[in-house]
Amino acid sequence: MSAVTANRASAPPAERKLTRGDLLAVFARMHLFQESLNFERMEALGYAFVMAPVIRRLYHTKEERAMALKRHLEFFNTQVTVCSVVFGLTAAMEEQGGNEADRAIAGMKAGLMGPLAGIGDSLIWSTWQPICLSLGAALALNGNFLGPILAWVLFNIVQVSAKYYGVMAGYHQGIALLSRLKGQFEVVTTLASIVGLMVIGSLVPSLVGVTTPAVVKVGDLTIGIQQILDSIMPNILPLGFTLFAFWLIRRKWSPLNIVLLLIAISLVLTAFNWLA
């Protein structure tokens, strides 16, 4: 057992217990969660920012805090309101498992961000927000200056409440769940990783749009290459581009360089009418 692990194991539980103030700080920081959104890791910087109060409370050395922050700087992207549950769960897992639960925390985040994005986008952006804006617009069209204010208040009553109760419920239910699953982090990690891979795999054909207009002529017969590829496996070109990008990631290419390379390849192939 390493010295860091031994020190944490010997520390009294009260020393590592998160306070209500820590959870309120997480809730407050959630309102700035997407202020550092970027196309490389999406909400990763925001995630590390939100988790900073928890990390400061639970870890006492520069090395431990750096390890925890690095864990939360990995790619993350989901709907900003409902992801409060993930922050609560993360706080609980940090408290219970610490840096030893690194894979379990990463697996949980990867497994939940896809399903929660679908739920949040449907309920918050596609349902509740249009209702609030419609009510506000109806008042505004009648010359009532309270229309925009009403829309803002109604929307944030739900959004702010969901963020608060999501953090608290995620934390407290996470504690209960982890106490029942103590010693089974590996199983939880494996299951969460499977869900995460399924979500990511299902996004490939919907987010990567690659087809080819190239044709093969055999006598008087003209056959489209895309038709042949679809008969082998639908969406094989998007899958190929995705696997190529994954291969470059494994070779330590930066996401920015991968994007630039894929753009260059796409431009060249499009110029020769091999890609659409």
Residues 189 and 230 in one domain: no
Residues 182 and 229 in one domain: no
Q: What is the mean pLDDT of residues 76-86?
A: 85
DSSP category for residue 19:
P
For residue 10, pLDDT beyond 50: no
For residue 98, pLDDT beyond 70: no
Residues 11 and 101 in one domain: yes
Cα 275 from Cα 273, distance rounded (Å): 6
Cα 34 from Cα 191, distance rounded (Å): 28
Q: What is the mean pLDDT of residues 123-150?
A: 81
What residue numbers bound the domain in which 231 lies?
209-271
Cα 204 from Cα 261, distance rounded (Å): 18
Q: Is residue 211 classed exposed, middle or buried when 0-12, 13-18 and 19+ CB atoms within 10 A define those classes?
A: middle
Residue that has been written with the tokens 């082998």 in this structure: 232
- Residue 188 belongs to a domain: yes
Residues 128 and 263 in one domain: no
Residues 146 and 221 in one domain: no
Nearest CA among 190, 270, 196 for reference residue 237: 270
Residues 114 and 36 in one domain: yes
pLDDT at residue 183 in the model: 52
Structure tokens at 13: 């539980």
Q: What is the mean pLDDT of residues 65-91?
A: 85
- Residue 55 belongs to a domain: yes
pLDDT at residue 187 in the model: 63
Q: For the segment 16-54, what is each residue's pLDDT rounded down to a tens digit? A: 578 888 888 888 888 888 888 777 788 888 888 888 888
Residues 240 and 165 in one domain: no
Provide the domain count of the chain. 2
The strand pairing partners of 222, in sequence order, are 217
Cα 62 from Cα 117, distance rounded (Å): 33
Residues 63 and 136 in one domain: yes
Q: What is the mean pLDDT of residues 144-168?
A: 88
Q: For the segment 180-233, what is each residue's pLDDT rounded down to a tens digit? A: 555 555 565 566 556 656 666 776 777 778 888 888 877 777 788 888 888 888
Residues 107 and 177 in one domain: yes
- Confidence band for 63, pLDDT divided at 50, 70 and 90: confident
Residues 247 and 169 in one domain: no
Q: What is the mean pLDDT of residues 102-117?
A: 78
